[in-house]
């Protein structure tokens, strides 16, 4: 806000640059602060590697275990599912709706082989956790060194 009153003939090109910078800051801060882009459902995921396993965690709040599936094939972990919108609104209007509904599919390449028969998955409080044990060939091996 300008405290000095400007006259119509008092044109300053730097005002245009300041306005442009303000508009760009507003656009980028709005788009980067949202976790979901353009109505696409993209669950947040963490994957960590431990010595003998990978631990995969995904945020899937408000979903049931029948709404998604996890598959492992050719060292690729795939999470796919759908969050369905409940249509129970009778004579209720919305002022704002930010929750995103729809289907999603995310795939992640694992850096080494896993043991598919020993994979375990659990779902609690909206968080899916998958434990992927590494195969014996992928686990680090400690080699003893003889000192002479």
The pLDDT assigned to 22 comes to 80
Task: State yes or no: pLDDT of 115 exceeds 50.
Answer: yes
Greatest mean pLDDT range, 18-32, 33-47, 134-148: 134-148
The answer to whether the predicted template modeling score (pTM) of the entire model surpasses 0.95 is no
Alpha-carbon separation of residue 129 from 12, 48, 119, 132 (angstroms): 58, 11, 11, 10
Beta-carbon contacts of residue 143 (< 8 Å; ≥ 6 apart) = none
Residues in the chain: 148
37-73 residue pLDDT tens: 344 678 899 999 998 899 999 999 889 989 999 999 8
CA dihedral 17, 21, 22, 25 (to 10 degrees): 170
The pLDDT assigned to 35 comes to 43
CA–CA separation, 1 and 16 (whole Å): 14
The pLDDT assigned to 51 comes to 85
The pLDDT assigned to 33 comes to 41
The pLDDT assigned to 25 comes to 76
Share of the chain above pLDDT 70, in %: 76
Cross-strand pairs, 94: none
> Cβ-count burial of 77 within 10 angstroms (0-12 exposed, 13-18 middle, 19+ buried)?
buried
Total Cβ atoms within 10 A of residue 57: 13
Task: State yes or no: pLDDT of 19 exceeds 60.
Answer: yes
- DSSP for 60-113 reads -TT--GGGEEEEEETTEEEEEEEEPPP---SS---S------EEEEEEEE-SS-
The pLDDT assigned to 68 comes to 93
Question: In this structure, which CATH number among 3.20.20.70, 3.30.56.10, 2.60.40.790, 3.30.70.3420 belongs to the domain 45-86+97-133?
Answer: 2.60.40.790
Average pLDDT rounded to a whole number, residues 112-137: 90
The pLDDT assigned to 100 comes to 79
Q: 43, 50, 62, 39: which is closest to 107 by C-alpha?
A: 43
Average pLDDT rounded to a whole number, residues 16-31: 74
């Amino acid at each position: 806000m300008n405290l000095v009153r400007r006259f119509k003939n008092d044109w300053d090109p730097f005002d245009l640059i300041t306005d442009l910078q303000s508009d760009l800051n507003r656009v980028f801060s709005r788009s980067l602060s949202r976790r979901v882009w353009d109505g696409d459902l993209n669950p947040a995921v963490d994957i960590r590697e431990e010595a003998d396993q990978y631990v995969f965690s995904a945020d899937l709040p408000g979903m049931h275990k029948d709404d998604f599936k996890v598959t492992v094939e050719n060292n690729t972990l795939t999470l796919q599912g759908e969050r369905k919108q409940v249509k129970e609104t009778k004579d209720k209007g919305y002022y704002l709706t930010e929750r995103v509904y729809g289907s999603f599919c995310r795939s992640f390449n694992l850096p080494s082989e896993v043991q598919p028969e020993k994979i375990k998955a659990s779902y609690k409080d909206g968080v899916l956790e998958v434990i992927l044990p590494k195969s014996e060939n992928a686990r680090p091996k400690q080699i003893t060194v003889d000192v002479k």
